[in-house]
Amino acid sequence: MGTRYVYANSQQEALRKLKEEMTRAEAGLLGEAGRTTVAEYLGWWMENVVRGDVAHRTYHNYLSQIRNHILPTLGKKKL
């Protein structure tokens, strides 16, 4: 994996982006553009971005919508 660059307007934003990239790396998604599927990305997004930011019921509604409507047709597509 090569060097990754991100740009930010403040140190706080840069630290936030660094944390996001580290989370993606731990999830095995960093540097995977072209190999990561929509299903893999949505799984990461739901656990690391959505969970904790929305109500429990909303989270499960999102999961249901993703499983029933997005994954059957787009889940295997590469990003």
Hey, how many other C-beta atoms are within 10 angstroms of the C-beta on 43? 17
Amino acid identity, position 71: L
Predicted local confidence at residue 1, as pLDDT: 47
Question: What is the number of structural domains in the chain?
Answer: 1
Predicted local confidence at residue 62, as pLDDT: 96
The model's pTM is 0.59
Residue 6 lies in a domain: no
Residue 79 lies in a domain: no
Residue 34 lies in a domain: yes
Average pLDDT over residues 41-61: 90
Model confidence at 30, pLDDT cuts 50, 70, 90, reads low
pLDDT at 3 over 90: no
The answer to whether 14 and 8 have CB atoms below 8 angstroms apart is yes
pLDDT at 28 over 80: no
Q: Which domain holds residue 50?
A: 11-74
Average pLDDT over residues 38-50: 88
Residue 5 lies in a domain: no
